[in-house]
Chain A
């Protein structure tokens, strides 16, 4: 892990030191910044006043990805019922095929993560896809692919 990343991480954690109730806020800030929870983060998070086991328990409960591979583009394809009825499984397959990606696995070369998600609560635009936290209608596949390429560039 680069020295600069460690410094950034330490600075972000220090803001919440002594505030155990702010673990989820910190985790979301790290997700926004790094796209994942860096592997060094859980140890640093003990500064909040939580035990290592508590931190692991909370991060795993909310399915936070802990990885040193930063994600440049996170694509989530909603697989909940309304989107399932609009063929979201086919869409996930098409996106993975286009970018030679495996669902739920970070592509180390392009820093792309395509995964299936539970309900994104945009069922009026099903099938819904979230690209780096922004929701877009999955019905326009070429537009979606262009958007992902732009995020990766």
Chain B
């Protein structure tokens, strides 16, 4: 097994909930912020562009381009937002990062605010991150008292507010998150206009994932060349991976994107039992099979947000497909007709699987629903949720055949325990 690479984003003791929060605050160097004070906004964006940093929330959009786009808007009221909603099943890297190094995120948000000349920043948290919210509020209070929430001494007021959202998976989608921050239903809006043009309250907005912002602090502190030297081409910098499921030691693993699925599972203590597959980037991501174990988890290979849910050969693919379908059925926003109707039909297909004569028509129907969503739904969430079930049907037809014969010992045993 390859040695675990050095950690830059994580690997610190957990500070949230500990009595050492003030010591952490006092000893935090604010190196990136001090360096940013001597840089122009254009210089900061140029550094981000040169680093090759892409968003870590799943969409992998170049961060420098996003900031640059907001800077180019004529509208002078602007916002910066840290997206810590993290509602995708199996995703918890941002929580771990915030528990260990929350000031790296605040520091980057201040830099973002100064760069795009925003008047206010928001940190939007998952509903369950109460302890993190408490720590962030305390840190922000200390920063306010010392006048450190600004890039340039004597600059205009910039403030950061923390909001803990109500648990809805859809809230993690950028435009839906804006609606949640505005106190409305977290329903996505169509693009264009893009968030950089009309985001929060209709104003130009930079919205970045928590890990993305922590990476910004690293780049400003250590330089774009340092960051760009880590990882394969077009996949620069350290990346966090959330490992869970059938692994011996579920944990957040920090590596570069040359790490293969086998490397990551090995660093998490190995598969419990025999590896059957993994959902990479979560249930909305891509299905990895044993033949894919040697693939590096790059952006091009679908690493997305870095979530890896491993399952072993005692698991039934039908049970997994039903879990995924039920999740997206209950969590889609219901706003657009294609999303609403397709998710209803997808659930009916999975619920009625045992009434079908053959798998092929079910697979075709599910694929048609996926295509409809890709072409006509209002946002990408429903289509991302219907991609993996056809892949499960194609990869594990024997599991589905057992259900068609009403003869799945795995699911029967599970049903007996639940009853």
Q: A124-B244, A130-B128 are in contact. Are A23 and B183 (CB under 8 A)?
A: yes
Q: Is the CB of A85 within 8 A of B250?
A: no
Interface segment, one of B37-45, B161-169, B355-363: B161-169
B320-338 vs A, Cβ < 8 Å mask (1 yes, 0 no): 1001100100110100000
Q: Is the CB of B130 within 8 A of A85?
A: no
Q: A57-B185, A62-B166, A90-B418 are in contact. Are A122 and B311 (CB under 8 A)?
A: no
B53-81 vs A, Cβ < 8 Å mask (1 yes, 0 no): 00000000000000000000000000000
Q: Is the CB of A124 within 8 A of B166?
A: no
How many residues of A sit at the interface, in one of the four size bands? 35 or more
Residues from chain A with a CB closer than 8 A to the CB of B88 are 119
Q: A24-B183, A93-B417 are in contact. Are A121 and B164 (CB under 8 A)?
A: no
How many residues of B sit at the interface, in one of the four size bands? 35 or more
Main secondary structure of the interface of A (DSSP, over half): helix
* In the complex, A80 has a CB within 8 A of chain B: yes
Which A residues from 1 to 57 make CB contacts under 8 A with B? 20-25, 27-28, 57
Residues from chain A with a CB closer than 8 A to the CB of B164 are 28
A55-69 vs B, Cβ < 8 Å mask (1 yes, 0 no): 001100111100000
* In the complex, B35 has a CB within 8 A of chain A: no
- The complex places the Cα of A22 from the Cα of B90 at a distance, in Å, of 30
Residues from chain A with a CB closer than 8 A to the CB of B107 are none
Residues from chain B with a CB closer than 8 A to the CB of A58 are 183-185
- The complex places the Cα of A135 from the Cα of B168 at a distance, in Å, of 18
Q: Specify which of B96, B245, B252, B333 is in contact with A81 (CB 8 Å cutoff).
A: B245
Q: Is the CB of A61 within 8 A of B186?
A: yes
Q: A28-B166, A118-B330 are in contact. Are A21 and B130 (CB under 8 A)?
A: no
Q: Is the CB of B283 within 8 A of A81?
A: yes
Which B residues from 10 to 41 make CB contacts under 8 A with A? none
Q: A21-B183, A130-B128 are in contact. Are A64 and B252 (CB under 8 A)?
A: no
Q: A89-B418, A126-B244 are in contact. Are A21 and B182 (CB under 8 A)?
A: yes
Q: Specify which of A90, A118, A124, A133 is in contact with B250 (CB 8 Å cutoff).
A: A124
Which B residues from 176 to 225 make CB contacts under 8 A with A? 180, 182-186
- The complex places the Cα of A133 from the Cα of B164 at a distance, in Å, of 12
Residues from chain B with a CB closer than 8 A to the CB of A81 are 89-90, 245, 279, 282-283, 309, 320, 323-324, 327
Q: Is the CB of A122 within 8 A of B324?
A: no
Q: A84-B323, A93-B417, A117-B167 are in contact. Are A124 and B180 (CB under 8 A)?
A: no
* In the complex, B414 has a CB within 8 A of chain A: yes
Which A residues from 69 to 89 make CB contacts under 8 A with B? 80-82, 84-85, 87, 89
- Number of A-B residue pairs having CB atoms within 8 Å of each other in the complex: 115
* In the complex, A148 has a CB within 8 A of chain B: no
- The complex places the Cα of A52 from the Cα of B124 at a distance, in Å, of 26
Q: Is the CB of B92 within 8 A of A62?
A: no
- The complex places the Cα of A48 from the Cα of B412 at a distance, in Å, of 51
Which A residues from 106 to 125 make CB contacts under 8 A with B? 117-125
Residues from chain B with a CB closer than 8 A to the CB of A117 are 167
Q: Is the CB of A85 within 8 A of B315?
A: yes
Residues from chain A with a CB closer than 8 A to the CB of B298 are none
- The complex places the Cα of A63 from the Cα of B165 at a distance, in Å, of 12
B249 to chain A, nearest CB (A): 9
Q: Is the CB of B185 within 8 A of A121?
A: no
Q: Is the CB of B246 within 8 A of A85?
A: yes
Q: Is the CB of B91 within 8 A of A123?
A: yes
- The complex places the Cα of A24 from the Cα of B323 at a distance, in Å, of 29
Q: A80-B327, A82-B244, A123-B250 are in contact. Are A118 and B169 (CB under 8 A)?
A: yes
Q: Is the CB of B95 within 8 A of A121?
A: yes
- The complex places the Cα of A61 from the Cα of B418 at a distance, in Å, of 29
Q: What are 24 residue pairs bridging A and B, where the CB atoms are less than 8 Å apart in the complex?
A: A21-B182, A28-B164, A63-B166, A81-B89, A81-B283, A81-B309, A81-B324, A82-B244, A84-B323, A93-B417, A93-B418, A118-B331, A119-B87, A119-B88, A119-B91, A121-B87, A122-B95, A123-B250, A124-B242, A124-B243, A124-B244, A124-B250, A133-B130, A135-B128
Taking beta carbons and an 8 Å cutoff, which residues of B are in contact with A?
A: 86-92, 95-96, 126, 128-130, 163-169, 180, 182-186, 242-246, 250-252, 279, 282-283, 309, 311, 315, 320, 323-324, 327, 330-331, 333, 414, 417-418
Chain A to chain B: the 7 pairs with minimum beta-carbon distance, closest first: A80-B89, A123-B244, A82-B244, A62-B166, A21-B183, A61-B185, A124-B250
Given A62-B168, A89-B418, A123-B89, 20 more pairs with CB closer than 8 A: A21-B183, A22-B183, A24-B183, A28-B166, A58-B185, A62-B166, A64-B166, A80-B90, A81-B279, A81-B283, A81-B324, A82-B89, A82-B244, A85-B311, A89-B414, A93-B417, A118-B87, A119-B89, A121-B128, A123-B91
